[in-house]
A and B are shown apart, each in its own frame.
Chain A
């Protein structure tokens, strides 16, 4: 187990290095730079001011030198300062991560609580009415863009019914109830696509397990259909679901960008979009690094959880 963990960490390190290189290259081939974005269209025409700002920001140096400097800085734990606002990047990202993490966790919980029962019912009533309804629901969810669904939710619950506030953000620990209320619609919007995918996965996974020999064995012992389903089928069927949920965590962080924009939530997604508009190189690089680390951690955690619940791996 320890050897396995070491190997996983080593390969994660390689991925992080590759991500940082790719991030650097992508950012430097983007047309325009931070200086131009900061000065605005008019200001950038003034060559003297433009060059001076470039020098001040260190943008006049060759890309290899800049990458080297950046890496030297990052390994000491310092992510540098934002080119745009001058604030320290580490604390800035940490502050913006809080709403995104809350959003992602709520979306994940919503997806799982909706998808597992629907998927199981679909499989148990294979090719009968409940299955057809479940499939229709799943496909509709997959085909619905999250940001559009978010806007529809705002129109229905905030504009027409006036039940929920349309947008904004409250820290969870300051006002838990208000925070949950504000985040409900955004997390529903973020959860749509994944809920659909998860329903399909749960359904096919349960169907497959129900055809296994050990299910017939369980029935041949005289166990009731409910015991067979919950004790023998579900535990096996949910193993691949755990993997899917873990892998999806990274995608949820990415998808948060549009939802955060629609609902004016000051999260990582909005920060990334704003940074790209302003060619805030240092911030974009730091964000990509953080995102890569998040995805890697999530998949490592998934594997560890998986090995806890599957005795064939735990004690293999």
Chain B
């Protein structure tokens, strides 16, 4: 069997800060096949963005430490490469699209210059060839009058158009992998749909594989073939998208699904938020990392961390990190997550603990 296109295995990334070492990614594993679209899902601070930046080795060199694990592209180890070798990978093999198209384009260079420099770096060519290729890219991402827009500056574009420019830039050297970090978060809903459709059609025509980072379950459902649910720096559940939505097998995933607004739901039915904040990964106690916010928790959850094990639905590649689904002691195997919200007494405890967090989000 040929190696996967991109594989991250047991990755651990930590940062040196004034207050000591802080782990941002803690035992993360995922794999991406050619032409596949996968999604890493989780709330803010769960390590998604650090994970994609570590694939490109774009983390600040002075503070970031790769402590364990491996990242391989087509079987080639990336963590061992020096910066010179990584420069040949960035943009050509793996490209990155950022969350905020407002701040991720350089305000003093024209978009033609910004797309062209990537082409020049990796493919070369004279001015005219580069300009032609740039115009073709802009046309493909749906920028009107690309011949003139080539010489426009980022501030002369709307947010959605800038994100199209970013996509054109990412596609410019025909990369094998695109990392898309919350690319629709800063856009309004209709533009979100346009951008996602554009990305999907472009990658299906070029065969590029995509790792999407998002906290939006709606986007996951519409685009990804496989989902990795991340919590506190590691994967807590993974499955093919259809399996995950049909039979989620982890209380954190249930929480994410319950907090999606839906048009079909009665308007007076409240959304159910996940109480509390993600834990500080520097202070994990060895138990399940979601336990402090889990309304289904039992004594065993505090004793040891559950392994990433096959979920009870038996679907291929559906894994969950929860004692409640253990084949022998699991107590959540037959729970209907839409009706049973967990033990009321435990829920009250969690709410009380969340209220005490001084800077808790509202």
| Stretch from B114-122, B225-233, B272-280, B353-361 that touches the partner | B114-122
Q: Do B107 and A311 touch across chains, with their CB atoms under 8 A apart?
A: yes
Bound complex: CA A312 to CA B62 (Å): 33
Query: Within 8 Å CB of A221, what residues of B?
Result: 90-91, 95, 117-118, 121, 169
Q: Smallest distance from the beta carbon of A182 to chain B beta carbons, Å?
A: 40
Q: How many A-B residue pairs have CB under 8 A?
A: 81
Query: Within 8 Å CB of A316, what residues of B?
Result: 155
- Cβ-based interface call for B29 (8 A): no
Q: Smallest distance from the beta carbon of A208 to chain B beta carbons, Å?
A: 13
Contact with A along B29-69 (1 / 0, CB 8 A): 00000000000000000000000010010100010000000
- Cβ-based interface call for B206 (8 A): no
Q: Do A231 and B155 touch across chains, with their CB atoms under 8 A apart?
A: no
- Cβ-based interface call for B340 (8 A): no
Q: Do B105 and A217 touch across chains, with their CB atoms under 8 A apart?
A: yes
Q: Smallest distance from the beta carbon of B287 to chain A beta carbons, Å?
A: 36
Pick the contact of B153: A214, A236, A312 (CB < 8 A): A312
Per the 8 Å Cβ criterion, residues 37-64 of A in contact with B are: none
- Cβ-based interface call for B282 (8 A): no
- Cβ-based interface call for A224 (8 A): yes
Q: Do A214 and B104 touch across chains, with their CB atoms under 8 A apart?
A: yes
- Cβ-based interface call for A220 (8 A): yes
A217-B106 in contact given A222-B87, A222-B91 (Cβ < 8 Å): yes
- Cβ-based interface call for B252 (8 A): no
Pick the contact of A222: B92, B103, B107, B109 (CB < 8 A): B92
Q: Do B56 and A220 touch across chains, with their CB atoms under 8 A apart?
A: yes
Q: Do A213 and B91 touch across chains, with their CB atoms under 8 A apart?
A: no
Query: Within 8 Å CB of B166, what residues of A?
Result: 217
Q: Do B108 and A213 touch across chains, with their CB atoms under 8 A apart?
A: no
Interface size bucket, B side?
Answer: 20 to 34
Q: Smallest distance from the beta carbon of A220 to chain B beta carbons, Å?
A: 4
Q: Do B58 and A232 touch across chains, with their CB atoms under 8 A apart?
A: no
Q: Smallest distance from the beta carbon of B147 to chain A beta carbons, Å?
A: 18
Q: Smallest distance from the beta carbon of A205 to chain B beta carbons, Å?
A: 14
Contact with A along B213-241 (1 / 0, CB 8 A): 00000000000000000000000000000
Bound complex: CA A219 to CA B84 (Å): 12
Query: Within 8 Å CB of B62, what residues of A?
Result: 126
Bound complex: CA A69 to CA B169 (Å): 68
Query: Within 8 Å CB of B188, what residues of A?
Result: none
Query: Within 8 Å CB of A227, what residues of B?
Result: 117
List B residues at the A interface (Cβ < 8 Å).
53, 56, 58, 62, 83, 86-92, 95-96, 98, 100, 103-110, 117-118, 121-122, 153, 155-156, 166, 169
A-B pairs with lowest CB-CB distance, top 9:
A222-B91, A222-B90, A221-B91, A220-B96, A221-B118, A213-B103, A213-B104, A214-B106, A311-B153
List A residues at the B interface (Cβ < 8 Å).
126, 212-214, 216-225, 227, 231-232, 235-236, 309-312, 315-316
